Amino acid sequence: MLALPLAGALAMLVPANRFLRTDFAVRAFGTAVSAATLLVAVSALTAFDFGATSRVQLEIDRAWAPAIGLRFHLGVDGISLPLVALTALLTFLCFLYTLRHPPEGGRTRLLTALLLVLEIGMLGTFVALDLVLFFVFFETVLVPMYAVIMLWGGPGRRAAAAKFILYTLLGSGLLLAGMLLVGAQAGTLDMTALAGRHGSGLPHGIQITAFALMGIGLAVKAPMWPLHTWLPDAHTEAPTVGSVLLAGVLLKMGTYGLVRVALPLAPDGARFWAPWLGLLAVIGIVYGALACLAQRDLKRMIAYSSVGHMGFVLLGIATLTPVGINAALFGNIAHGLITGLLFFLAGSVKERWGTGDMDAIGGGMLGTSPRLASILTFASVASLGLPGLAGFWGEVLALAGAYRPHADLPRETFVTFMAVAALGAVLTAAYFLRMLARLTHGPSSPRSGPVAAVSPQEYAAWVPLIALTLLVGLWPKTLLDVTTGPVRALFGGG
């Protein structure tokens, strides 16, 4: 699964030949490579034993640098498998989207290579089981995403790309320091061995320090308030495929790292910092919603909505309960599906109207482009948490987890967090309904020429996300059955 995009990226270094002479041929090649990678991810789903989701499966464990105890250790369990499938799917859909929407700045070969390298880093982060290997893959995504924003972004791309790389590099330094602190004290860098110890043998003070370092480093990527300020600029300026992968996958690397690395390696530190994590999470929920109400640009509004939605994920993690962690993992997948779809739609709206400014676009989209408006309405009501759609379960389970947090945590504090987060959920409905009222309803805005119909490539990129949003929303058991076993194992259960 990692070798295919690597081979595809290396193929872009070969001088143009008769097979890859045109831009369309290059985009088709990238689509084919990502499709093959998706097929491998699907084969991993079929080969996975869903009767033992807490056990690491499909492992590769080879000596990497024996002198310092590093191993090339890969594998999946019920926590990582859904994210692996989501990553492979979104990358394929992004390539599919480029068949109809070539990059505006040209340099198609470079963009194809960067997206494939990005896929290697994203997939590798979710399957790595060695701390240093995890960090290597975690860092692999930074330069490709920086380049995608810098070369194909909007007018403010230079400042947005610089802010993205500076914030994430600072966070990565703290993350590495925290992981090495744990590894040096424990005498191993193997994540499965460290998780199995549940913090035994690590002094209390070391765990508090290590969790703080790792938590801040991962919270930058999540992003947690107040470390979120790079996100709106990066999303607003990035091209559509960059925004989809940034929202759909890169943000999940931060919350996944908290569940996979920080929480099991330093459980005492997690209990010490959990109330503070919960506080920052609920501030992010309300702040994100209020910021959305103030936005005029569609992409920027969706970007700020991610701050609020990821706040629910962080609140679930802060409860330190199986219900809360399941809520976080469910929210990760739901947010990836729904917000990925929203950014695809925002890109299509900007292409047709020439702007993302909601005032300039005007209303009446249901009259001028009814299918696009209908899908935008579906994605919006899914994101605001309508029951029966994927966005509902992550939020309601996070609130349930906050109502009954871990026994060592102050329940009154978390019940307060629950009430504030519920207010944030109401504000989420307000800004999405306000956006729909401005864009889809009312009289059509005066504009020259008809609006282009939704293309087959756009349908192909959107329909899988719509179908999965419905599937996971109507049958949440399909995802919860996969994550429950390994989540219980995190807390020393079966």
User: What pTM does this model have?
Assistant: 0.89
What number of other Cβ atoms are within 10 A of residue 452's Cβ? 12
CB 439 within 8 A of CB 376: yes
Per-residue pLDDT in tens (0 to 9) along the chain, 494 residues = 999 999 998 888 877 666 677 778 888 888 999 999 999 999 999 998 888 888 888 888 888 877 777 888 899 988 999 999 999 999 999 998 888 777 776 788 888 899 999 999 999 999 999 888 899 998 888 889 998 888 888 788 888 888 888 888 888 888 898 888 888 887 778 788 888 787 777 788 888 998 899 989 888 888 888 888 888 888 888 888 888 898 888 888 889 998 988 888 888 888 888 899 889 999 999 988 898 888 888 888 888 888 888 889 999 999 888 999 999 999 999 999 999 999 988 888 888 777 777 777 777 777 777 888 889 889 988 988 888 888 888 888 888 888 888 888 888 888 998 899 988 888 888 888 888 888 877 666 655 446 777 778 888 888 999 999 999 999 988 888 888 888 888 876 54
215, containing H or E segment: helix 204-221
Rounded Cα distance between 463 and 460, Å, is: 6
Per the structure, how many domains does the chain have?
1
Structure tokens at 438: 């401005």
Could you list the beta-strand ranges (E) of 66-118: 70-76
Q: Can you give the residue range of the structural domain that contains 110?
A: 3-490
Report which DSSP code applies to 247. Answer: I
Question: In angstroms, how far is the first alpha carbon of the chain from the final one?
Answer: 29
Give yes or no for a cis peptide into 15 (omega within 30° of 0): no
